[in-house]
């Protein structure tokens, strides 16, 4: 047998769902997980428990893998370079991944290749934040530590220089950005393989609640076809220019005046692509696996007119399994995806997908199920 071994660093739900998508391909899947209880570690056969920040651990794990890929973007760039020097393909590679790890590097590179972004620059202290505000339309200003933020963490919206002290306390460079007057958030998901084949999923609308993705609608309702095409082309261009291999999510602002600006990049399967598991011919996870193995990519087109994903966040109600009875009986077409994670308030512990011809119906079904699982809907 010559089936390859894919080494996945990180044991979260993205690794779990990538494993699920890899099973039909007959590939071997090897996991480096922080603990044996991590989401993916519960369901993968070949698990190494260890710390990805330790180069020796990473090197030992990578031995016997045909390619290394990631559940998250936290592996130090120098470690990835060391693996590459050892002859292990790392996908996406460190030169691409740094753009998803460091928002300062990302903004500089997008500027260089002419991709529209919110007005931005690195700021040094609260007084510099005030100067940045004065250079544009004033406060509010968005501040982000260039490394380590996600799901609203590491991001502050400040109304004055006085409020701007906190972001600088970590000692990490801070990026200031204009607060974009957006009508909604979109995401353009693309997948690219080492020899340069790429596919684009339809552009989706992503609705955030408290900085965390809540609902994704595929395709984005009412999106102008030209704008959709422009967003797909932009994402494909970023993937090509940055040398991305695997899945790239480009989070976008759609502005009131009809522009699209890049908010964030993620180089791995992404929450805005979870709808593809039940809504697309080939899921983002299956295509990520195909890309990192340099296999021809699968068809990214949708299977239904509308697909909706709603995240299931932890609430006050820990027993989500008993909620299955209601949810499954109410909607026999419902797709539940739970991650095997303990319920903690606000934690992403799963998502649901629904699809169909009528967007209102599809939305209602997904929201009801997610709310019932969380415990915010009880009837």
87 phi-psi bin (left φ>0, alpha ψ -120 to 50, beta other): left
User: Which 3 state secondary structure label does DSSP give 177?
Assistant: strand
For residue 340, give the DSSP letter: -
- Edge-to-edge strand order for the sheet containing 155-158? 120-123, 174-178, 141-145, 155-158
Asked whether position 19 contacts a copy of itself by CB under 8 A, the answer is: yes
Asked whether position 171 contacts a copy of itself by CB under 8 A, the answer is: no
Asked whether position 4 contacts a copy of itself by CB under 8 A, the answer is: yes
Q: How far is the CB of 75 from a copy of itself (least distance, A)?
A: 23
Binder among 54, 299, 358, 361 for a copy of itself (CB under 8 A): 299
Asked whether position 324 contacts a copy of itself by CB under 8 A, the answer is: yes
| Site pattern 332..351 for a copy of itself (x: CB under 8 A) | xxxxxxxxx-xx------x-
Is the distance from CB of 187 to CB of 206 less than 8 angstroms? yes
User: Which 3 state secondary structure label does DSSP give 84?
Assistant: helix
Measured distance CA(373)–CA(314) in Å, rounded: 9
Measured distance CA(379)–CA(376) in Å, rounded: 10
Residue 33: what are its φ and ψ, rounded to 5°? -125, 145
Is the distance from CB of 224 to CB of 213 less than 8 angstroms? no
Q: How far is the CB of 319 from a copy of itself (least distance, A)?
A: 5
Q: Which stretch binds a copy of itself (CB under 8 A): 24-32, 94-102, 166-174, 220-228?
A: 24-32
Based on CB atoms, which residue is closest to a copy of itself, 69 or 353?
Answer: 353
Residue 263 counted as an annotated binding residue: yes
Based on CB atoms, which residue is closest to a copy of itself, 68 or 320?
Answer: 320
Residue 352 counted as an annotated binding residue: no
Residue 240 counted as an annotated binding residue: no
User: Which 3 state secondary structure label does DSSP give 201?
Assistant: coil
Q: Which stretch binds a copy of itself (CB under 8 A): 53-61, 86-94, 143-151, 330-338?
A: 330-338
Q: How far is the CB of 290 from a copy of itself (least distance, A)?
A: 7
Residue 180 counted as an annotated binding residue: yes
Asked whether position 25 contacts a copy of itself by CB under 8 A, the answer is: yes
Measured distance CA(36)–CA(345) in Å, rounded: 22
Residue 151: what are its φ and ψ, rounded to 5°? 45, 45
Binder among 144, 268, 288, 290 for a copy of itself (CB under 8 A): 290
The H-or-E segment that residue 261 falls in is strand 260-266
Q: How far is the CB of 199 from a copy of itself (least distance, A)?
A: 8
Q: How far is the CB of 195 from a copy of itself (least distance, A)?
A: 11
Q: Of 256, 271, 143, whose CA–CA distance to 212 is shortest?
A: 271
Contacts of 114 (CB under 8 A, 6+ apart): none
CA distances from 136 to 108, 158, 177, 275, 329 (A): 19, 15, 10, 37, 54
Q: How far is the CB of 129 from a copy of itself (least distance, A)?
A: 43
Measured distance CA(196)–CA(240) in Å, rounded: 7
Q: How far is the CB of 52 from a copy of itself (least distance, A)?
A: 19
User: Which 3 state secondary structure label does DSSP give 314?
Assistant: coil
Binder among 303, 344, 358, 376 for a copy of itself (CB under 8 A): 303
Q: How far is the CB of 307 from a copy of itself (least distance, A)?
A: 12
For residue 234, give the DSSP letter: H
Q: Which stretch binds a copy of itself (CB under 8 A): 22-30, 144-152, 231-239, 252-260?
A: 22-30
| Binding site, annotated residues for ATP | 103, 144, 177-180, 185, 263-264
Q: Interface residues with a copy of itself (CB under 8 A)?
A: 1-4, 16-17, 19-20, 23-26, 28-29, 41-45, 47, 277, 281-282, 290, 295-299, 303, 318-322, 324-325, 328-329, 332-340, 342-343, 350
């Amino acid at each position: 047998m010559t089936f390859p071994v894919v080494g996945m660093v990180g044991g979260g739900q993205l690794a779990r769902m990538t494993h699920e998508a890899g099973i039909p391909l007959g590939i071997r899947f090897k996991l480096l997980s922080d603990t044996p209880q991590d989401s993916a570690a519960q369901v993968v056969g070949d698990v190494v428990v260890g710390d990805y920040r330790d180069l020796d651990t990473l090197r030992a794990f990578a031995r016997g893998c045909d390619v290394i890929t990631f559940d998250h973007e936290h592996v130090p760039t120098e470690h990835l370079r060391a693996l590459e020097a050892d002859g292990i393909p790392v996908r996406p590679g460190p030169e691409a991944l740094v753009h998803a790890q460091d928002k300062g590097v990302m903004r500089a590179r997008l500027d260089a290749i002419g991709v529209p972004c919110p007005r931005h620059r690195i700021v040094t202290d609260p007084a510099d934040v005030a100067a940045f505000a004065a250079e544009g339309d004033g406060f509010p200003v968005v501040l982000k530590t260039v490394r380590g933020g996600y799901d609203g963490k590491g991001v502050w919206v400040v109304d004055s220089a006085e409020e701007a002290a906190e972001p600088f306390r970590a000692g990490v460079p801070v990026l200031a950005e204009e607060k974009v007057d957006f009508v909604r958030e979109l995401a353009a998901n693309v997948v690219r393989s080492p020899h340069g084949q790429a596919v684009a999923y339809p552009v989706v609308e992503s609705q955030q609640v408290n900085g965390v993705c809540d609902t994704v609608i595929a395709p984005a309702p009412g999106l102008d076809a030209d704008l959709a095409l422009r967003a797909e082309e932009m994402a494909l261009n970023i993937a090509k220019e940055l040398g991305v291999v695997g899945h790239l999510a480009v989070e976008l602002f759609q502005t009131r005046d009809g522009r699209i600006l890049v908010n964030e990049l993620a180089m791995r399967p992404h929450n805005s692509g979870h709808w593809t598991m039940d809504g697309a011919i080939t899921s983002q996870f299956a295509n990520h696996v195909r890309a990192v193995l340099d296999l021809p990519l699968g068809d990214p087109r949708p299977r239904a007119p509308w697909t909706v994903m709603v995240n299931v966040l932890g609430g006050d109600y820990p027993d989500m399994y008993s909620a299955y009875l209601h949810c499954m009986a109410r909607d026999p077409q419902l797709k539940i995806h739970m991650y095997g994670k303990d319920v903690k308030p606000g934690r992403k512990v799963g998502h649901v997908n629904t699809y169909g011809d009528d967007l209102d119906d599809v939305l209602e079904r997904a929201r009801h199920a997610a709310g019932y699982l969380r415990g915010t809907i009880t009837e």
